[in-house]
Amino acid sequence: MTETETKKLKTVRFDAEEMEILTRANKEGPMEDIESWRKAFPEVDFMEVDKVFSCEEIDWSERSMKERAFFVAYMKAPQEAKVKFELEVENVKIHKAINDSEKIWWMWIEGCFSGQELDEKALRTFLWYADESELARKYTQDMDLAEVEVTSVTSKVAPI
């Protein structure tokens, strides 16, 4: 996709695209099998290793169907992705919008879009991006994660 084509894209809520993505993958075979996803979305590189940022292996069997669907939507046009989230820490609500595709990629790598209960890595990633000041980041390392609740996540992506 060229830069000019990308600029013409209107973003849509991920929730609106998710069912279409899941349906297409399901038509190709068992959704647990990454090969079904590869057949449904041949234009998407379901890489085994993130060679660009983390250099971590991507274990697709550990990824939820929602995470796989978000990956497809994100990879359509990463620079168009946007995430808004709200979290509550010790009765303080924090709202944050992220338009940086690299940050959104790291959030995906750390499991922030699983659609399930968030683990420590995902919660710390939300905290990391909630307030990017040096002081806040030092504080989040010692925080009791039982006090952290991500109350909403809304994503916008390029249309499938």
Residue 1 within a domain: no
Q: Can you spell out the DSSP letters for 32-87?
A: TSHHHHHHH-TTS---SB-TTTT--B--GGGS-HHHHHHHHHHHH-GGG-EEEEEE
Instruction: Going residue by residue through the chain, which has 160 residues, state the pLDDT in tens, using 9 for 90 and above.
Output: 555 454 557 899 999 999 999 999 999 999 999 999 999 999 999 999 999 899 999 999 999 999 999 999 999 999 999 999 999 988 899 999 999 999 999 999 999 999 999 999 999 999 999 988 887 778 888 888 999 999 999 999 999 9
Beta bridge partners of 152: 86
Residue 2 within a domain: no
Rounded-to-integer distance, Cα 57 and Cα 103, Å:
18
The range of the structural domain enclosing residue 51 comes to: 9-157
Provide CB contacts within 8 A for 154, sequence distance 6+.
Answer: 13, 14, 15, 83, 84, 85
Tally of domains in the chain: 1
Rounded-to-integer distance, Cα 99 and Cα 81, Å:
7
Residue 3 within a domain: no
What does the pLDDT read at residue 7? 56
Rounded-to-integer distance, Cα 47 and Cα 51, Å:
9
Residue 40 within a domain: yes
Residue 4 within a domain: no
pTM equals 0.90
Report the share of the chain in percent with pLDDT over 90. 81
